[in-house]
Structure 1
Amino acid sequence: MQGEPALPADFQTLPYANPDAPQGGTVRYCVFGNFDNLNPVIVRGALTTARGIWFDKEFGNLVFEPLMQRSPDEPFTMYGLIAKTIETDEKRSFVEFQLDPAAKFSDGTPITPEDMLFTVRMLREYGRPLYANWLRPAVKIEKVGDHGIRFTFDETADRETPLLIAGLPVLPEHAFDEKTFEQTTLKPVIGSGPYVIADVRPGQEITYEKNPDYWAKDLPIRKGMFNYDKIVIDYYRDTNAQFEAFKKGNCHVYPEGDPNHWRTAYDFPAVRDGRVVKESFESGAPANMLGFVFNTRREIFADRKVRKALSMLFDFEWANKNLYYGAYKRTGSFFQSSELSALGRPASDKEKALLKPFAGDVDPDVMDGSYAPVVTDGSGSDRKVLRAALKAFQEAGYELKGRRLVGPGGKPLSFEILVQSPEQAKMAEAYKSTLSRLGIAVGTRLIDDSQYQARKDSFDFDMIIGAYSASLSPGAEQVYRWGSKSNDINGSFNYAGASDPAIDALINKIVTARSREDFVAAVRAYDRVLISGYYVVPLFHLPEQRLARWSFIQHPEKTALYGYQLPAFWRADAGKN
């Protein structure tokens, strides 16, 4: 997208991989939840698809692979995988991939342009909305020679479009039945990746075994990666049982996101004698945006003034001290802790020019860089903050009548927070406690994964706790999260129901930026509009990644820009289970 790749054309291995890593052995992962589907690209079962098959940022793409592999060490760079070469023009009006003649699926069937044509058809007709959005600019897709496939784009394409196409999975036409493609399945799928699905215990466990004939095992992009012979992912419905499995050695790696747990739960024999290691990793990526998401399709949240007032009432200081031992930092930006964030930065001249047509969309304090989320005294009932929030509600036409906050139509303000785990319920209860002090009635509802997915996909909620992954390379995926086009598409990530011309215009500026300077200005302006929209009550983030592992699981010395990469880990005692 911008500049040159970090690695030369003749690179031999990735900087964060160990090409001499021992090969073999079994790794066991443990995850919270359930699964009832093995097709990762369809809308159904989006939240209950088995982990690791495809598009898994933690475990990697074990079964399906893209045409080109994104590097977690660079924001905007991809390297060839199934595609041996890529060609495009200055205008990015087309992209042509020549497939590696050696590329094949795990059953030995060669990968052909026909497989890519089939993939495009399935993704457009039955895939998640994200894929249809990526493919929308492609007006012509054709086979070129024996191994080539060419995508021709219309005027809606941008500079990122070829990269999005390069990131699509390649599905085997011979292994799928088009008539049943959109249905969930527990039949092991076939892909071109380093592993095959060896065993499935629905809802409990999925086992992957390395394909000894994996076609790409000697490519530089794969050396030192995917080092285990077998990967087992166990599912747990209870986080306590999940951690007990780790303590007993039935799970070998435990990514830790709970600072309270990190502080108090690791005083057991295996930690004391060194068999279990606790580690922290630095990441150069922006912190993810975790927060209470307003469904602005609901009348109660349609008014930005109401959302702003509600955003003032999460007492981070109390929650951080009493629930999390002070381990978290408050999140205020959608690109927190990076050069893309608008926090603490006055708008540049370039940003002001971009925002000029939308002057009313950005609050003055967000524009001049003085904005920060409300800071309380940590008491859980900061009267100064409560008075300020009440004043904000009054500006929106609300008033306190007795012990209830009542809207312009005389209706008391009340809503429900939908949650899917006990940890989310804990956050919701902390928020609920403060809201109740202003006479706002809030209910919390904990439901199972399947129900939660169905209600989230159809936007059947008042408020949820959402997590928006952040990166140094935001692009077309933002349409799917915040763009007007995704506002009414079931299954999209536009949970908030955002539909704002300013957002749409700035996403377009991001994806068409030609220089780094223009790109940064566009993202910061975009950040200012999202912050000022109060679509989310920002929660918090950890300043580092935390991981516990059994000592026989080891990793390279170098950490990628985006943090540790589990596919680069290995067993020191390879050959043992």
Structure 2
Amino acid sequence: MPLRSRLFTACLPLAAGVIALCLGGGAAGPARAAPAHAIAILGEPALPAGFDHLPYVDPDAPQGGVMRYGVYGTFDNLNPVIVKSALTTARGLWLDREFGNLVFEPLMQRSVDEPFTMYGLLAETVETDPDRSYVEFQLNPKAKFSDGEPVRPEDVLFTVDMLRQYGRPIYANWLRPAVKIEKVGEHGVRFTFDDTADRETPLLIAGLPVLPEHAFDRAQFGDTTLKPVIGSGPYVIADVQPGQRITYKKNPDYWGKDLPIKRGLDNYDEISIDYFRDANAQFEAFKKGLFYVYLEGNPRHWQTAYDFPAAGDGRVVKESFQTKTPVGMRAFVFNTRRKVFSDVQVRKALSLLFDFEWANANLYYGAYKRTESFFEGSELSSIGKPASDREKQLLAPYADELEPDVMAGTYHPAISDGSGSDRTLLREAVNELKAAGYDFKGRQMVGPDGAPLGFEIMVQTAEEERIASAYQRTLARIGVAVSIRQPDDATYQQRKQDFDYDMLLFTYYASLSPGVEQVGRWGSSSKDAPGSFNYAGVGDPGVDALIAKMVTATTREEFVDTVRAYDRLLISGHYVVPLFNIGEQWLARWSFIRHPDVTPITGYYLPAFWRDPKAQ
């Protein structure tokens, strides 16, 4: 493949060997392709040019009223893209899993009913070539920020510059292949990539926010702020009560309200998000109608807590939603940066002693299923499937890291007798630890250096403490000393960002199109990057190689085999103690909050909900 990293004389590099931002055209680039309304990771977009609306919205949804959400935690910042805000930014501003992009908007909007397809939003069209050596966006001439200023190519260039300097590590990964960015004509922006680009790169670039250059101070961009920020999205920030509440009001002059990609969305006049430091207080507020949607994930709570009057008389509705995507991996995460967890054999031994059967029966009414794969419940999972010839070829260089049952597809997490003290598993764990050089000294398990084997589990909520306590009791039976700490939320977030913990609980959400985001979770480059999601501290060349292969696959078959191979390598590494999943989504809502009849493959989609006008 020809070298694509040549910088043109019209470009001024910001840093040697990093990037060039160009305000004018340069020498001829790659051959042009036809501009399109959308771009898919593999194959063609599901919706044709000129589509009327997304299939999972009601294009005639009523408009108006107030939506109130309640979330657990706190916030101290309104700039969602900087490292300092990685875990304490206000919800809803940008790239929010539940609430969408209320203030900032991407060049293109992702469909939640396809594995990975982007449709035009700020960008009216997208253009790329079969090699995906470049991507060019033509901005919609009608696009405006909330203060009436137009969205310009210069704003895209500014955004890239700021993300490179101050953004979270994930954005640096997305932008790394872009060696030249230039303004093309009045409304165009072209990104030219080097040989490290892959099929996903143009879609990731399309998902970047566009920030207004005129509304930010370059010198202070990396600092947290509580001053309301300006974006191009459907809402503006109306009120900020730090750590307690943020209120958004719909912009009556929102530029994109008539776009097909926006029909049936952004249905409220006002959105308020209240923060709670206590989970019980959060639910009590929902019961009283202080906010209107409660996202449930606890079977015990789901079965026992909805005995209040509003749930009994139908004013509060409980609903289940089916999905067609991986359920995600909820797990205890070993911080392998810590000496105690640096040995995979120790991690394997400790993983044997989470008694799922006891916890499920005694804490959760038997409602959970044990999670086994990082892509549980989808074709991407390796569980129950022997490694294919392509997988074996991909994994051959890392054969020493792989467990035979994982390769054979027969691996399952340990199954106990449900007693909370399964002697067979206790004995197996002790034997694994002895093989790693550990042994009993009195009633304590001690290491080769004579130090007792013990660690701290950092938890965020009372429910996390509950399940950690169950794990703690079983580990104590073989002399492993475990303490549990629940710091205040600000301390928790800071320690999490700085990787200052032994073990914590985390959910790795998964999709049908895993890609470069895996670098931020498991890649070597993110291991020591503050604010990354590599909580386990993984730095494995095999993991890196499979992520690289994953994002360059050209067929669905090749992609599936690569992800399954990747799944096998992560499972064999015993970086986490898998917990459990429900297999569906649970949501409770006040009955005046309605939603479309169609559910996308990812499950409920809150931005498509609306408030019944009769209940305004």
TM-score (norm 2): 0.92
Counterpart of 1:295? 335
- Give the Cα–Cα distance (whole angstroms) in 2 for the partners of residues 574 and 47 of structure 1: 38
2:286 and 2:526 map into 1 onto residues whose CA distance is 40
| 1:342/1:528 contact within 8 Å kept | yes
The structural deviation recorded for 1:45 is 2.8
Q: 1:148 aligns with which of 188, 191, 194?
A: 188
In structure 2, what is the equivalent of residue 453 of structure 1?
A: 493
Question: Match of 1:512, SS?
Answer: coil
Does 2:380 align with 1:328?
Answer: no
Amino acid of the structure 1 residue aligned with 2:60: D
Question: For 1:149-548, what aligned pairs fall within 5 Å after superposition?
Answer: 149-548=189-588
Compute the displacement of 1:575 (Å).
7.4
Q: Distance in 2 between matches of 1:365 and 1:478?
A: 24
> 2:106: which partner in 1?
66
Amino acid at match of 1:573: P
Q: Secondary structure at the match of 2:546?
A: helix
Q: Is 1:569–2:609 an aligned residue pair? A: yes
CA distance in 1, matches of 2:497, 2:274: 26
Q: Distance in 2 between matches of 1:464 and 1:240?
A: 21
Offset of residue 176 of structure 1: 0.7
Q: Structure 1 residues 574, 56: CA separation in 2 closer, same or farther (over 3 Å shift)?
A: farther
2: distance between equivalents of 1:121 and 1:448?
35
Where does residue 21 of structure 1 map in the other structure? 61
| Count of aligned positions | 576
Counterpart in the other structure of 1:33: 73
TM-superposed CA distance for 1:401, in Å, is 2.2
Matched, 1:132 2:160: no
Could you give the per-residue CA deviations for residues 305-361 of structure 1, whole angstroms, max 9, x where no partner exists? 001001101011111111111111111110001000001111111111111111112
Give 1:2's aligned residue: 42
Residues in 2 aligned to 1:358 and 1:385: alpha-carbon distance in whole angstroms = 28
C-alpha distance in 2, partners of 1:465/1:425?
10
Contact 1:23 1:227 in 2 (8 A): yes
Structure 1 stretches lacking a partner, 5+ long: none
Distance (whole Å) between structure 2 residues aligned to residue 569 and residue 24 of structure 1: 11
Instruction: Tell me the secondary structure at the aligned position of residue 254 of structure 1.
Output: strand
C-alpha distance in 1, partners of 2:381/2:275? Answer: 36
- CA deviations over 1:507-544 (Å, ceiling 9, x no partner): 01100000000000000000000000000011111111
- Where 1:366 maps in the other structure, the secondary structure is helix
SS of 1:44's partner is: helix
CA contact (8 A) 1:48 1:449 kept: no
Amino acid at match of 2:142: A
Note if contact 1:23-1:574 (Cα within 8 Å) is conserved in structure 2. no
Structure 1 CA distance, aligned partners of 2:489 and 2:139? 38
- Whole-angstrom CA distance in 2 between matches of 1:179 and 1:442: 45
Distance 2:438 2:392 in 1: 33
Once residues 302 and 478 of structure 1 are traced to their aligned partners in structure 2, the CA distance between those partners, rounded to angstroms, is 21
Which amino acid in structure 1 is aligned with residue 249 of structure 2?
E
Contact 1:68–1:79, Cα closer than 8 Å, also in 2: yes
2:513 aligned counterpart, secondary structure: coil
The residue aligned with 1:76 is 116
Q: Deviations over 1:528-565 (max 9, x none)?
A: 00000000011111111001111110000000000010
**1:270 Cα offset (Å):** 1.1
Alignment correspondent of 2:148: 108
Mapped contact 2:592–2:615 kept (Cα < 8 A) = no
Structure 2 Cα separation of the partners of residues 91 and 555 of structure 1: 40
What residue in structure 1 maps to residue 592 of structure 2? Answer: 552
Question: Following TM superposition, by how much is the alpha carbon of 1:74 offset from its aligned partner in structure 2, in angstroms?
Answer: 0.3
Give secondary structure in 1 for the equivalent of 2:261: coil
CA contact under 8 A between 1:116 and 1:171: conserved in structure 2?
A: yes
1:406 Cα deviation from its structure 2 partner = 1.3
Whole-angstrom distance in 1 between the partners of 2:610 and 2:183: 40
1:449 Cα deviation from its structure 2 partner: 2.1
Partner residue, 2:13: none
In the alignment, is residue 123 of structure 1 matched against residue 151 of structure 2?
Answer: no
Q: For 2:85 and 2:314, how far apart are their aligned partners in 1? A: 40
Map Cα deviations across residues 182-211 of structure 1 (whole Å, 9 max, x no partner).
Answer: 111111111011101111111111111111
Equivalent position of 2:8 in the other structure: none
Q: Percent identity?
A: 69
Structure 1 runs (4+) greater than 3 angstroms displaced: none
Q: How far has the Cα of 1:132 moved from its partner? A: 0.9
Counterpart residue type for residue 165 of structure 2:
E
SS at the partner of 2:285? Answer: helix
Give the Cα–Cα distance (whole angstroms) in 2 for the partners of residues 566 and 170 of structure 1: 23
Q: Which has the higher contact order (CA 8 A, sep 6+)?
A: 1
Q: Which residue of 1 aligns with 2:127?
A: 87
Residues 277 and 489 in structure 2, CA contact (< 8 A), matched pair in contact too:
no
Tell me the SS of whatever aligns to 2:83: coil
